[in-house]
Structure 1
Amino acid sequence: MLRVRIALTRSIHSSRRFYGSQNALPAVATIAGPLDLIDVAEFRAKAFTPENPLLITAGERRSVEEADLSAYSIPAADKWFVSRASSSTGAGGEQGREVLLSKEYLAPFADTILPYELITPSAENVGVGDNKELSNILKHYIQDSEGTTFHRFSAPFSLLQLCSQAPSPRPALYIAQAQLIDLPLALRADVPTPHLVLQAGKGDVYDANLWMGIPPTYTPLHKDPNPNLFLQLASQKRVRLFEPSTGAGIFRHVQKSIGRAGHGGAIRGNEMMEGLERRGLHDAVWGKGMDNETSGGYETIVGPGDALFIPKGWWHSFMSVGNGMNGSANWWFR
Structure 2
Amino acid sequence: MNLPARMKNLFKDIPAYEKWIKRISSLSDSDAPDRVGGKKLSARARKEKENLKKIEVNQDYFGPFADTPVALELMKRDRFNRAEFERYPGTLAEVLEYMKKDTKWDAMPRIYLAQHPIDELPKQLQDDLPPPEIIKNFGKGDIYGSSLWMGKAPTHTPLHRDPNPNLFVQLSGKKTFRLMRPDVGRKLYEDVRSKLYNKAGDGATMRGEEMMQGEEFDKLKQAVWQDKLATNNTRLGYEVKLKPGCGLYIPLGWWHAVQAEGVGPNVSVNWWFR
1:94–1:205 distance in 2 versus 1, CA, 3 Å: closer
1:150 aligned to 2:85? yes
Alpha-carbon distance, 1:123 to partner:
7.1
Aligned to 1:255: 193
CA distance in 1, matches of 2:24, 2:198: 46
Match of 1:280 among 203, 212, 219: 219
User: What are the superposed Cα offsets for residues 7-51 of structure 1, whole Å, 9 maximum, x if unpaired?
Assistant: xxxxxxxxxxxxxxxxxxxxxxxxxxxxxxxxxxxxxxxxxxx42
Given the alignment, which residue of 113, 133, 137 partners 1:195? 133
Partner of 2:67: 111
Flag the structure with more relative contact order, 1 or 2, with Cα contacts below 8 A and sequence separation at least 6.
2
Structure-2 change in CA distance of 1:199 and 1:85 (3 Å): closer
Q: Which residue of 2 aligns with 1:72?
A: 12
- The structure 2 residue matched to 1:310, chosen from 238, 250, 269, is 250
Q: Give the alignment of 1:153-172 within 5 angstroms.
A: 153-169=88-104, 171-172=109-110
Aligned equivalent of 1:240: 178
Q: CA deviation at 1:113?
A: 0.8
* Higher percent of residues as strand: 2
**CA–CA distance in 2 between the matches of 1:244 and 1:122?**
33
Q: Matches of 1:233 and 1:95 in 2, distance apart? A: 15
CA–CA distance in structure 2, aligned partners of residues 116 and 153 of structure 1: 5
Q: TM-score, normalised by structure 2?
A: 0.83
Secondary structure of 1:301's aligned partner: strand
- Confirm or deny: 8 A CA contact 2:83 2:217 kept in the other structure: no
Distance 1:124 1:187, change over 3 A: farther
Residues 112 and 198 from structure 1, CA distance in 2 versus in 1: closer, same or farther, beyond 3 angstroms? farther
Runs of 5+ consecutive residues of structure 2 not aligned to the other structure: 27-46
SS in 2 for 1:252: helix
On the 8 A contact 2:99/2:264 being kept in 1, the answer is no
Conserved? CA contact 2:83–2:212, under 8 Å: no
Map 1:9-158; keep pairs closer than 5 Å.
50-58=1-9, 72-84=12-24, 96-122=52-78, 149-158=84-93
CA distance in 2, matches of 1:224, 1:285: 17
Distance 1:187 1:93 in 2: 30
Corresponding residue SS for 2:187: helix
Q: Once the two structures are superposed, what CA deviation does each residue of 1:170-222 show, in whole Å capped at 9, x if it has no partner?
A: 64211111101111111001100111224532221120110111221111100
SS at match of 1:149: strand
Q: Greater CA deviation, 269-278 or 288-297?
A: 288-297
Instruction: After the TM superposition, list the runs of 4 or more consecutive aligned residues in structure 1 that deviate by more than 4 angstroms.
Output: 91-98
Which of 295, 304, 312 pairs up with 2:235? 295
Q: What TM-score, normalized by structure 1, do the two folds share?
A: 0.69
**Are the aligned partners of 1:207 and 1:333 in contact in 2 as well (CA < 8 Å)?**
yes
CA change 1:183–1:58 in 2 (3 A) is same
Structure 1: where are the runs of 5+ without partners? 1-49, 60-70, 126-146
Identity of aligned residues (%): 38
Distance in 1 of aligned mates of 2:126 and 2:50: 36
Q: Give the aligned length.
A: 250
Aligned to 2:270: 330
The amino acid across from 1:312 in the alignment is L
Give matches, 1:213-224, under 5 Å.
Answer: 213-224=151-162
Q: SS of 1:120's equivalent?
A: strand
Q: Distance in 2 between matches of 1:301 and 1:188?
A: 26
Tell whether the 8 Å contact from 1:98 to 1:323 is kept in structure 2 after alignment: no
Q: Is the 8 A contact 1:123 1:149 kept in 2?
A: no
Secondary structure of 2:78's counterpart equals coil
